Structure 1
Amino acid sequence: MKRVSARQNALPALLFPLFLSPTALAEDVDDKQTMVVSATPQVVSELDTPAAVSVVEGDDIRQATPRINLSESLTGVPGLQVQNRQNYAQDLQLSIRGFGARSAYGVRGIRLYVDGIPATMPDGQGQTSNIDLSSVKSVEVLRGPFSALYGNASGGAINVATETGSQPAVVESSGYYGSYGSWRYGLKASGATGDGTRPGDVDYTVSTTRFITHGYRDHSSTRKNLANAKLGVRLDDVSHLALIVNSVEINAGDPGGLTKAEWRADPQQSPRAEQYNTRKDLRQTQAGLRYERQLSERDDLSVMLYAGERETTQYQSIPMAPQLRPSHAGGVISLQRHYQGVDGRWTHRGRLGVPVTFTAGLSYENMSENRKGYTNYRLSDGVPQYGHKGDLRRNEHNLMWNADPYLQTQWQLMEKLTLEAGARYSSVWFDSNDRYVTPGNGDDSGSVGYHEWLPAGALKYAVTDAWNIYLAAGRGFETPTITELSYRADGRSGMNFDLKPSTNNTVEIGSKTRLGDGLLTGALFQTSTDNELVVDASSGGRTTWKNAGKTRRQGAELSWERRFAGDWRVKTSWTWLDATYRRNVCKDTGCNGNRLPGIARNMGYASVTYTPDEGGYAGADARYMGDMMADDKNSAKAPSFTTVGLSTGYKISYRGLTVDIFGRVDNLLDKEYVGSVIVNESNGRYYEPAPGRNYGVGMNLAWRFE
């Protein structure tokens, strides 16, 4: 989204009137405001929103960056911990206020959306690999109680909006070369046949990217192809239709974790990966169709339909001996998933003594999965040769679906006092049909269902036109994902249906103040959780899970961003998060009071940039991450670290051509540190090292057809 008075009023499209349905398309209106394109646009400022929300603009995401990972640009968001594993087989490690930190791969506990299409599967497992940073318009991060209104596994929500084409047409070519043989190059085209207000007006944005790297660590080479397209058409004066298509293909080595001794001796080594040839192949294609219509001056309708398929094959570092058990699922995972969903909402604006807005809707998602397991070796003269698909050891068909009705309201009680409240009834069902029944491996079919009311509400008081305070509270829940249900800690076959969903209650108080040409925000919060889902054990790339009784997260977030002297900008943030086990974690009481692993207690960020429209530009940033425990007993941890980055470039425009050349250096001080941890890794291989000082150069060419 574009800046409003130097980003004083950036719109979080996650929020009102779309708390409960992330199906709206955000479009630019002019340089002074942004709005949600429903039938009747609603302008809502970040300052006025009674929730902890941060917005990162697409231009900032692309400013002198590789455009490969969200970790390049989201480290300044308070409450968000984003870790680059240096492992493209396992994706980034994202957590919001500690939700998602347990994830050994992919994203858990956070709802992800790209142009309104969930990047989180119905069971709560998500990914960031299908996000094309070259065409991102904005990334909005919602934290706190209202994120629960997105349903299952919504400890936080991240919404990515891609660019909408406009006149004049633009063709853009970009490239980046960095350390460890990293190449990224891409092409983007955007444009429109009108201004979007007349029937028949069409807009389009098409982008494709290829990324290749040898990887910082041994056995971490990766190839990734990504394409994204969005086509919109104004059907008539009151309706709009948009088609969104996305495709990603990844072939990546999996270097795995290291022990502390291995990390200190050689952080780039990957001994198990070389032995077992661990790797992952992934292919995903999806499409969505969004229809928006103005029913009357006070009523809007929005419907989103989407469908996709995902195929994954993963080779794990599991020895032959345990795979000889009849109940073992093997060391190769093969998944084929098909998913689809619909989300429809109706919004009404009226009066019940005071101005009131209602948003009601229904979200339905389902996913079918064919899950197979194979041994990961073949025998040569009785000796296992790893890294080869062997005999079938698992074959099941899993179904998952959910249906969530929701309602949200806003009441303008007085001139300075606003009430916002909502509720969602989330129902989630799992069903597993075992097709691999052999002697020693019985029929493990089964089913389970989860249901929960998810209420949330907030009171906002406008002390002045430039200062708001708010109080919010909400209840959320998180079911086990299909992957978390897939393996039992006792080593037996079948689904782990003993796992229960976790529930949490959050209270938050916050303040937002406009200071000159900037915004200062702060929030205090506490979250209490029952039946927290945590890692039981992790070994050889396979993880099992358990419920941990009670946990508590309490903390504070502070951020300040301001522009000064025209083209200078400063941005700072700090997060303090005390996340601890309260009861029933380990078999004894020894873990009660311990810190939750994978979560830093303190995080800090500061940056200063000089970015004129043309000519030379430069920036510097510093990031601090406190130490992270690696296991429930708090017997191992990754030490704290501070990294510094520098970037500089030059931008020039001549007629319709814009040339942007830049260079950057990351980890300027060559700090040796652990980028992320594998929680509760059974062999003590917790550590995923980050690279030392590394460099990159890039160029962007854009031709505007004026």
Structure 2
Amino acid sequence: MRPGSTSLVTCWFAIGAAHAQAQLPRPPMQQAQQQPTHLPAVVVVGGRLTDATPASIDRVEVQALPALEGSSVAEVLRRVPGVGARDRQNLAQDVQVTIRGFGARSTFGVRGLRLYVDGIPASMPDGQGQVSHVPLGALADVVVLKGPFSALYGNASGGVIQFFSAPPADSATAMFDASAASDDRQRWHLAASGPWRSADGGYRVDAERLDSGGFREHGRARRDVTQARLTTDTAGGARVAFTANGLDLEAQDPQGLTLAQALATPRAASTGALAFDTRKRVRQRQAGLRVEQPLARGELAIGAYAGTRSTFQMLSVPMAAQDAPGSGGGVIDLGRDYAGLDARWSLDGSVAGRAAGFTVGVEWQQSGERRRGFENFVGDVQGVVGALRRDQRDRVHGRDVYAEARWAFQPRWQATLGLRRSEVGFRSDDDYIAPGNPDDSGRTDYAFTTPAAGLLFRPVPSIALYANAGRGFETPSSSELAYRADGASGLNTGLRPSRNRSVEAGMRWHRDSRTLAVAAFDSRTRDELLVASSSGGRSIYANAADTRRRGLELSASGPIAPHWGYAVALTALDAAFQDSGRRIPGTTARDGWAELRWTPRDDLDLFLAGQASSRLYADDANSAWAPGHGTLDLGAERRWTFGRVGIAGFARIDNLLDRRAIGSVIVNDGNGRYFEPAPGRSYLLGLRIAAAK
């Protein structure tokens, strides 16, 4: 597979859900009232995650949220306990996402978690992931799976996040929404949706642009996301869905600051960012197809996906640091092709007269990269593409076989057992060999078996009690294997995958529109992957001593009086290295989010939302940290209907009290510039219009 080739898109098609609502949990009241005749699968890509699953699952109905700008996934994910979603205010580095402390080491993108957008993996087989291409204007639901059962999704699955777009509308509909906010930020979104005239199913096409002047100096960015989804039902009963998605991103990178700089001048950029004009360009195209064929007692589903992603990034590596023969330069030019296939067969039946289900499947993933590095200067001119310093081709493949069995062995009891066998292989071919820079080619392979088991008990229809246990693993990514701590050439084959054992217990309660969920968890990891040093454009990774993550999560929502409602999400997390007791950097001990909403009538919502977090450590020694902080947001949305035209206007004030805070940290930054400030008080105005035929 040649990196940079676009021909694969015409040969492969992506996994896509036939109907988003068929993949997602039913609303709580419906779940309580219905007794399923079959047991839903949880291990398959895009599989159903329902209230019958013995695991911690959270669902956010995005389109039910008022005054939502739709500029970052952090707006949605902050409502989920156990999930850390920190907006860096820097589109060049993406949102920082963690689940129960997994993924905290990431200095860019997302690590340690499995991500899916309409069934298409947004995580590569080596665990690298990103959320920049999520079609925020089209989102209907976000589902988060936490705990041991997430390990059944394979490599680097400390948690699983699935983003689902809205299905085609029942009648031809055109939609438009726009918003303007502080710091010269504008967003536009256009969509068209409707059914086919001659067949079941329909279409939805979305296009959106975010244009931002940036909260910080040297922070201007533009992001364009487009998506098309086509669905149909065949005469033979098969459900077919085609999904195509594109991303174009250009962003300046203000980089991190020291704590003193961040508190004194939070809008500033680093001196290196200004000197080298640090910036990033990304272009991604992907497409895919999924076919689900109902059978007499089950279902056969086959899906495949493919795409390309090209990245150009100007770094601020000092000129002197590139004198070393082994330096990769200060410019990244990366082209990636990726593809995958998932096929599964599900059978519903009974064992000893009790409902039972079985799922077996295979998954294949592959990515190929051509990574080139250049000097970021020519003569005395900085911030331009100079001489070639790195040229290599990396390939990663993942092959998985999985199975899951579910049995309701008593009227109120269900047992679930899952098993996945994963093989992940890396190969790197070095095409840049020079004096002092020998051949860095190499390969390494990993194989793991990850089991998970769970038990669910319903003492009454409105309450579900569950417990589960399992094992998981995470391999280093291609970029994490690139450099050795001793400075020698070749892959860092001494870097071992991390392995974890996790247990979880929890309770879910729902009655009418009231919900309550509590989960306690404990996860112990051997050979935790962490950043040993990060400087001169190189991040070197190492294995830590054993770590432990344990904590408690609580979420609740419902009415408190006529026209008044609330929602709350609280997390207590103890994530630490077991030998020293120091906290894992990038994690906080306490996080909370809460919202109070007033709906005096059906067409008006007003809300006050608050979030708070404790101290956020930035390095392994716990010598640098961002102080804890809390903020309040105030918003309102008013809706009008004129025949077949619906109009909504909304306004919001974020950080109402203008608190100065650090929004995120760059873990173990070698220059001590760990901190990325959050905005002060900011304003948003928006308008949405939808017209149906």
The interval holding the TM-score normalised by the smaller chain is over 0.9
Q: Give the Cα–Cα distance (whole angstroms) in 2 for the partners of residues 9 and 304 of structure 1.
A: 32
Deviation at 1:109, TM superposition (A): 0.6
Matched residues, number:
665
2:175 aligned partner, one-letter code? E
| Residue in 1 that maps onto 2:647 | 659
2:189 to 180, 186, 189: 186
Superposition map of 1:73-152 within 5 A = 73-152=76-155
| Residue in 1 that maps onto 2:408 | 412
2:566 aligned partner, one-letter code? V
1:628 aligned partner, one-letter code? L
Decide whether aligned partners of structure 1 residues 16 and 593 sit closer, same or farther in structure 2, where only a CA change above 3 A counts. farther
Deviation at 1:565, TM superposition (A): 5.1
| Residue in 2 that maps onto 1:57 | 61
1:165 to 164, 168, 172: 168
Superposition map of 1:264-343 within 5 A = 264-270=263-269, 271-296=271-296, 298-343=297-342
For structure 2, the residue ranges without an aligned partner over 5 or more in a row are: 1-20
Deviation at 1:45, TM superposition (A): 4.5
Asked if structure 1 preserves the Cα contact closer than 8 Å seen for 2:29 and 2:510, the reply is no
Deviation at 1:227, TM superposition (A): 0.2
| Residue in 1 that maps onto 2:510 | 514
What do the CA deviations read for 1:589-613 (whole angstroms, capped 9, x no partner)?
xxx1111111010011110123477
Deviation at 1:233, TM superposition (A): 1.2
Percent identity reads 40
- Partner of 2:167, secondary structure, is coil
| Residue in 2 that maps onto 1:19 | 42
What do the CA deviations read for 1:439-498 (whole angstroms, capped 9, x no partner)?
111111100001100000101111112122111001000011111112333444443222
Q: Give the Cα–Cα distance (whole angstroms) in 2 for the partners of residues 6 and 105 of structure 1.
A: 40
Deviation at 1:614, TM superposition (A): 4.5
Q: Give the Cα–Cα distance (whole angstroms) in 2 for the partners of residues 16 and 22 of structure 1.
A: 16
Deviation at 1:348, TM superposition (A): 0.4
Q: Give the Cα–Cα distance (whole angstroms) in 2 for the partners of residues 23 and 471 of structure 1.
A: 23
TM-score (norm 1): 0.92
Decide whether aligned partners of structure 1 residues 254 and 74 sit closer, same or farther in structure 2, where only a CA change above 3 A counts. same
Superposition map of 1:448-463 within 5 A = 448-463=444-459
Query: Structure 1 residue 668 and structure 2 residue 673: aligned?
Result: no
- Partner of 2:234, secondary structure, is strand
Deviation at 1:358, TM superposition (A): 0.2
| Residue in 2 that maps onto 1:31 | none
Deviation at 1:542, TM superposition (A): 3.9
Asked if structure 1 preserves the Cα contact closer than 8 Å seen for 2:28 and 2:512, the reply is no
- Partner of 2:588, secondary structure, is coil
| Residue in 2 that maps onto 1:582 | 578
Deviation at 1:16, TM superposition (A): 6.2
| Residue in 1 that maps onto 2:584 | 596
Q: Give the Cα–Cα distance (whole angstroms) in 1 for the partners of residues 244 and 600 of structure 2.
A: 34
| Residue in 2 that maps onto 1:207 | 206
Asked if structure 1 preserves the Cα contact closer than 8 Å seen for 2:155 and 2:475, the reply is yes
Q: Give the Cα–Cα distance (whole angstroms) in 2 for the partners of residues 10 and 534 of structure 1.
A: 47
Deviation at 1:17, TM superposition (A): 2.9
- Partner of 1:413, secondary structure, is strand
- Partner of 2:371, secondary structure, is strand
Query: Structure 1 residue 72 and structure 2 residue 75: aligned?
Result: yes
| Residue in 1 that maps onto 2:13 | none
Superposition map of 1:248-263 within 5 A = 248-263=247-262
1:558 to 554, 557, 561: 554
| Residue in 1 that maps onto 2:540 | 544
2:275 aligned partner, one-letter code? Q
Deviation at 1:8, TM superposition (A): 6.6
2:286 aligned partner, one-letter code? Q
Decide whether aligned partners of structure 1 residues 140 and 7 sit closer, same or farther in structure 2, where only a CA change above 3 A counts. farther
Deviates more, 1:76-85 or 1:494-503: 494-503
What do the CA deviations read for 1:484-517 (whole angstroms, capped 9, x no partner)?
1123334444432221110000001111122553
Deviation at 1:118, TM superposition (A): 0.2
Deviation at 1:58, TM superposition (A): 2.4
Deviation at 1:60, TM superposition (A): 3.1
- Partner of 1:388, secondary structure, is coil
| Residue in 1 that maps onto 2:4 | none
What do the CA deviations read for 1:131-185 (whole angstroms, capped 9, x no partner)?
1111111000110010000000000000111111132111001101001000100
What RMSD over aligned residues (CA atoms) do the two structures have, in Å?
Answer: 1.8
What do the CA deviations read for 1:330-357 (whole angstroms, capped 9, x no partner)?
0111100000000000000112213210
TM-score (norm 2): 0.93
2:477 aligned partner, one-letter code? T
- Partner of 1:236, secondary structure, is coil
What do the CA deviations read for 1:625-655 (whole angstroms, capped 9, x no partner)?
1111111111111110101000012110010
| Residue in 1 that maps onto 2:399 | 403
1:275 aligned partner, one-letter code? A
What do the CA deviations read for 1:47-78 (whole angstroms, capped 9, x no partner)?
x43111110012135x2121110111221210
| Residue in 2 that maps onto 1:41 | none
Q: Give the Cα–Cα distance (whole angstroms) in 2 for the partners of residues 610 and 136 of structure 1.
A: 24
Asked if structure 2 preserves the Cα contact closer than 8 Å seen for 1:8 and 1:519, the reply is no
Q: Give the Cα–Cα distance (whole angstroms) in 1 for the partners of residues 39 and 348 of structure 2.
A: 12
- Partner of 1:489, secondary structure, is coil
Decide whether aligned partners of structure 1 residues 387 and 408 sit closer, same or farther in structure 2, where only a CA change above 3 A counts. same
Decide whether aligned partners of structure 1 residues 624 and 658 sit closer, same or farther in structure 2, where only a CA change above 3 A counts. same
Deviates more, 1:555-564 or 1:247-256: 555-564
For structure 1, the residue ranges without an aligned partner over 5 or more in a row are: 25-35, 37-43, 584-591
Q: Give the Cα–Cα distance (whole angstroms) in 1 for the partners of residues 499 and 562 of structure 2.
A: 47
Deviation at 1:615, TM superposition (A): 3.1
1:120 aligned partner, one-letter code? S
1:101 aligned partner, one-letter code? A
Q: Give the Cα–Cα distance (whole angstroms) in 2 for the partners of residues 295 and 696 of structure 1.
A: 50
- Partner of 2:479, secondary structure, is helix
Q: Give the Cα–Cα distance (whole angstroms) in 2 for the partners of residues 416 and 654 of structure 1.
A: 49
Decide whether aligned partners of structure 1 residues 507 and 207 sit closer, same or farther in structure 2, where only a CA change above 3 A counts. same
Q: Give the Cα–Cα distance (whole angstroms) in 1 for the partners of residues 43 and 463 of structure 2.
A: 26
Query: Structure 1 residue 368 and structure 2 residue 391: aligned?
Result: no
Deviates more, 1:560-569 or 1:413-422: 560-569
Asked if structure 2 preserves the Cα contact closer than 8 Å seen for 1:255 and 1:273, the reply is yes
Asked if structure 1 preserves the Cα contact closer than 8 Å seen for 2:575 and 2:584, the reply is yes
- Partner of 2:263, secondary structure, is helix
2:299 aligned partner, one-letter code? D
| Residue in 1 that maps onto 2:9 | none
Q: Give the Cα–Cα distance (whole angstroms) in 2 for the partners of residues 553 and 424 of structure 1.
A: 23
Deviates more, 1:90-99 or 1:556-565: 556-565
Deviates more, 1:348-357 or 1:218-227: 348-357
Q: Give the Cα–Cα distance (whole angstroms) in 2 for the partners of residues 247 and 224 of structure 1.
A: 11
- Partner of 2:418, secondary structure, is strand
Deviation at 1:4, TM superposition (A): 2.7
Q: Give the Cα–Cα distance (whole angstroms) in 2 for the partners of residues 480 and 641 of structure 1.
A: 33
Deviation at 1:18, TM superposition (A): 3.4
Query: Structure 1 residue 356 and structure 2 residue 356: aligned?
Result: yes
What do the CA deviations read for 1:656-701 (whole angstroms, capped 9, x no partner)?
1111111100000101010001111112111000000000100001
Decide whether aligned partners of structure 1 residues 190 and 564 sit closer, same or farther in structure 2, where only a CA change above 3 A counts. farther
Query: Structure 1 residue 424 and structure 2 residue 412: aligned?
Result: no
Q: Give the Cα–Cα distance (whole angstroms) in 2 for the partners of residues 485 and 318 of structure 1.
A: 20
Deviation at 1:283, TM superposition (A): 0.4
Asked if structure 2 preserves the Cα contact closer than 8 Å seen for 1:310 and 1:336, the reply is yes
Deviation at 1:288, TM superposition (A): 1.0
2:355 aligned partner, one-letter code? P
Deviates more, 1:567-576 or 1:331-340: 567-576
| Residue in 2 that maps onto 1:238 | 237
- Partner of 2:321, secondary structure, is helix
Asked if structure 2 preserves the Cα contact closer than 8 Å seen for 1:149 and 1:454, the reply is yes
Decide whether aligned partners of structure 1 residues 100 and 162 sit closer, same or farther in structure 2, where only a CA change above 3 A counts. same
